Amino acid sequence: MDMAFQVVGIKREEVYIANIVKCRPPGNRNPEDDEAVACLNYLRNQVMLVKPEIIVLLRKCSIKKHLRKRIWNNSFKR
């Protein structure tokens, strides 16, 4: 990960990495909705404390959980 930041000219100290869940579910599976919801207030507090200029969602799981209610379902309904 550090190498990826270096390539684009970002120092690792300038990056704060957070996760929607605070512990990995059994078997390293993707978190269920209720597991993500259980940790959501903690994540919101982290974001409020850090006050990031930019938030980047990585991996399908986090992107899908965030966009599903806003875009995902509406864009692909037929």
Given pLDDT bands bounded at 50, 70 and 90, which one contains residue 75? Answer: very low
How is residue 9 annotated by DSSP? T
pLDDT tens string 15-53: 888 888 888 889 988 888 888 888 888 988 999 999 998
Integer Cα distance of 61 and 24 in angstroms: 13
> Taking a C-beta distance cutoff of 8 angstroms, is the pair 65, 33 a contact?
yes
CA distance 34 to 45: 18
Q: List the chain domain ranges.
A: 2-75
